[in-house]
Chains A and B, each alone.
Chain A
């Protein structure tokens, strides 16, 4: 890793440079929540944010996207993907993208996702947790890779970690904007990280979690929460690692049709229905439990399918808390 410093007074100019790479998306405050939106200047962004409603996955796995266009009976592939910049992505969301990568970039590669991944220039940014965050307990509070540049806040600027060849190129081209990192900067960096580590209020103990949950398959706790759950699927939409999609063909006029895919949610009754109406997950309990199992699935190479961003808690209308459910289910075993 190479480390450089971006002094506060150069921040604007650096951002202007990034805008030349392509449309730039950053966290913008709208009402009470934050969203990634296209921004034309630093002042439009609110970098002091905890989480956006939709995670940056929306730039890679689109809520709704066109796969093909059918004309006179033949498929035409859609084109038109351009380079873009994602500015101000938090460590947990970078980990979320890495989990999506495992799925979409494994053989056979999803060409739509892959192209956008290659087109994206990702600038990470440090953050402070709120009462919903539990990424530290999952080890996703710090990103070692998966970004081009990562900015860590200093009193008078940013400590920049360079995480890719393209990151190096950008730093190289803008050499005049960067300075060497001093011992004092390092001290500030360390202080910030220590303060941050202490600020977490929530944790999900990982030890034996996957097995405990499996053993608690018939726990009454699942049922208790499944009854509270409204099956709205919000938690799926906002989760940076949820990725189920549905595909449908739609006629746009009498001669042409399109094949689209859009987010699907495992809370929907139709998710497991097959021919003749047989449903492999017929009850809300089955579907509720399935989501928790999916999020808690442990892959030795990428960890859990949850990065602890706290979105599902913040945006759940039934106020169901992810960690609480899992802890109670685990507790019901004792």
Chain B
């Protein structure tokens, strides 16, 4: 059977890096050089990771398509399969199929400001956007507003600190809010008093003026975050069509067959895997249950 969409391709783990006690960054390369060469994607898309004999699960691509030859996945250990993957080492092989989903419309947003709002693990897909904007240089100014629980939970900490220090030279402003106080956080807050604070991600909007007319917002985080962030953006008169969010649902097939990710009602039903996972706020207004 050729062209079986459920058939994954072998990818070798090149590197495993601990990001936090719960999250690891896996760098992978497809074993078949042709696939490795041709594999490309859009920030916001995801793949299905196939751990043979154990099952499959969806994970966002957190590297950027501008960097060829490898992909990166940031995987949080939450259950049976992710625990298994966390035990894997350099040189081990997993299956990868995809990329799936629509991704962010990066080309349409060229020349605009991007306001990236990340909560927790939502940092993973937005890191792909961030890298993409920095690598292509086609965007006016990029803000990253990142809300995290504690210092130990900061994903891609080195990169975040680097951008806190040097971001402005690349038209990139990084701001971070943490919830749990610790000496490291206080140290960070002292160093970057204008950009690091104790609080939640919406606190980072305070005192920031965006050129709203020329901006897009890209949001990814836990379900409860969306409502608050969207309210903040709407208050600032950002058009609902310029608010993009990426959503999570249970997924099995990733290609619009298994029915698990379907949301909506009789007038509008969407498959998160195929019609999303990126939606605008207009979509949320017309499809019940999206957020």
Residues of A within 8 A of B (CB): 67-68, 70, 73-75, 77, 79, 103-104, 106, 108-111, 115, 209-211, 213-214, 217, 243-249, 251, 257, 261, 264, 266, 271-276, 278, 280, 292-294, 296-298
CB A243 to nearest CB in B, in angstroms, measures: 6
**Is B257 in contact with A274, judged by CB distance below 8 angstroms?**
no
Q: A243–B259 contact, CB under 8 A? A: yes
Q: Which residues of A contact B93 (CB under 8 A)?
A: 73
Q: Check A213–B252 contact: CB distance below 8 A.
A: no
Shortest distance between the CB of B282 and any CB in chain A (Å): 16
Residues of B within 8 A of A251 (CB): 53
Tally A-B pairs: CB < 8 A.
112
B6 — nearest CB in chain A belongs to which residue?
Answer: A67
A70-B53 in contact given A108-B5, A293-B265, A297-B266 (Cβ < 8 Å): yes
Instruction: List the A side residues contacting B264 at CB < 8 Å.
Output: 293, 297
Contacts of B263 in A (CB 8 A): 280
Interchain Cβ contacts under 8 Å between A and B, 18 examples: A68-B6, A75-B8, A75-B95, A77-B1, A213-B266, A214-B265, A214-B288, A247-B258, A248-B55, A257-B52, A271-B250, A272-B249, A274-B248, A275-B79, A275-B82, A293-B264, A297-B269, A298-B267
CB distance from A207 to the nearest CB of B (A): 13
B111 at the binding interface (Cβ < 8 Å): no
Across the interface, do B4 and A111 meet the contact criterion of CB distance under 8 Å? yes
Chain B residue with minimal CB distance to A276? B78
Cα–Cα, bound, A104→B55 (Å): 22
Residue of B nearest to A74 (CB): B52
Interface size class, chain B: 35 or more
Q: Measured between C-beta atoms, what is the minimum distance from B102 to chain A in Å?
A: 14
* A272-B260 in contact given A245-B252, A251-B53 (Cβ < 8 Å): yes
Q: B76: CB under 8 A from chain A?
A: yes
Question: A109, A249, A271: which has the most chain B beta carbons within 10 Å?
Answer: A249
CB of A115 to closest CB in B, whole Å: 8
Docked-complex contact A106 and B256, CB < 8 angstroms: yes
Judged by a CB distance under 8 angstroms, whether B214 is at the interface is no
Q: How far is the CA of A296 from the CA of B267 in the complex (A)?
A: 8
**A246 lies within 8 A of B76 (CB):** no
**Contact indicator B78/A246 (Cβ below 8 Å):** no
- Indicate which residue in A103, A272, A275 contacts B257 across the interface (CB closer than 8 Å): A103
B56 on the interface (CB 8 Å rule)? yes
Contact (A293, B252) CB under 8 Å given A111-B1, A275-B78: no
Tell me the complex Cα distance, A261–B76, Å.
26
Complex interface: chain B residues within 8 A of A280 (CB): 249-250, 263, 289
Q: How far is the CA of A293 from the CA of B270 in the complex (A)?
A: 12
With contact pairs A274-B249, A278-B223, A294-B269 given, residues A73 and B257 touching in the complex (Cβ less than 8 Å): no
New contact pairs (8) apart from A115-B1, A243-B259, A247-B258, CB-CB < 8 Å: A104-B257, A214-B267, A214-B288, A217-B265, A245-B252, A266-B259, A297-B264, A298-B266
Give complex CA distance A109, B262 in Å: 19
Do residues B259 and A77 form an inter-chain contact, with CB atoms below 8 A?
A: no
Question: Which residues on the B side are within 8 Å of A108 (C-beta)?
Answer: 3, 5, 255
For residue B173, give the distance in angstroms from its CB to the closest CB of chain A.
31
CA distance A204 to B95 in the complex (A): 47
Q: Is B54 an interface residue (CB 8 A)?
A: yes
Q: Mark B233-276, 1 if CB is under 8 A from A, else 0.
A: 00000000000000011101101111110111111110000000
- Whole-angstrom distance from the CB of B212 to the nearest CB of chain A? 31
Q: Within 8 Å CB of A213, what residues of B? A: 265-266
**Residues of B participating in the A interface, judged by any CB pair closer than 8 Å:** 1, 3-8, 52-56, 76, 78-79, 82, 93, 95, 223, 248-250, 252-253, 255-260, 262-269, 288-289
Residues of A near B252 (CB, < 8 A) are 245-247
Nearest-Cβ distance from residue B230 to partner chain A, whole angstroms: 18
> Which residues of the partner chain A approach B5 to less than 8 Å between Cβ atoms?
108-111
**Taking the nearest CB of chain B, how far is it from the CB of A250, in angstroms?**
9
Q: What are the residues of chain A within 8 A of B53 when measuring CB–CB?
A: 70, 249, 251, 257
Bound form: Cα–Cα A214–B288 in Å: 9
Query: With A77-B7, A103-B256, A111-B1 in contact, is A210–B52 under 8 Å at CB?
Result: no
Give Cα A146–Cα B82 distance, bound, in whole angstroms. Answer: 43
A252 to chain B, nearest CB (A): 10
Nearest residue, chain B, Cβ from A246: B252
Cα distance, A68 to B223, chains bound together (Å)? 34
User: Residues of A contacting B76 with CB < 8 Å?
Assistant: 275
A246–B79 CB distance below 8 A: no
B266 touches A210 (CB 8 A): yes
Tell me, in angstroms, the Cα distance from A133 to B259 when the chains sit together: 26
The CB with the most chain A CB atoms within 10 A, among B5, B54, B259, is that of B259
User: Which residues from B are CB-within-8-Å of A77?
Assistant: 1, 4, 7
Residues of B within 8 A of A298 (CB): 266-267
How distant is the Cα of A67 from the Cα of B76 in the complex, in angstroms?
A: 28
Contact A245 B258 (CB under 8 A): yes
A103 partner residues in chain B, CB cutoff 8 A: 256-257
A293 and B52 contact, CB distance less than 8 A:
no
B288 near A273 (CB under 8 angstroms)? no
CB distance from B161 to the nearest CB of A (A): 28
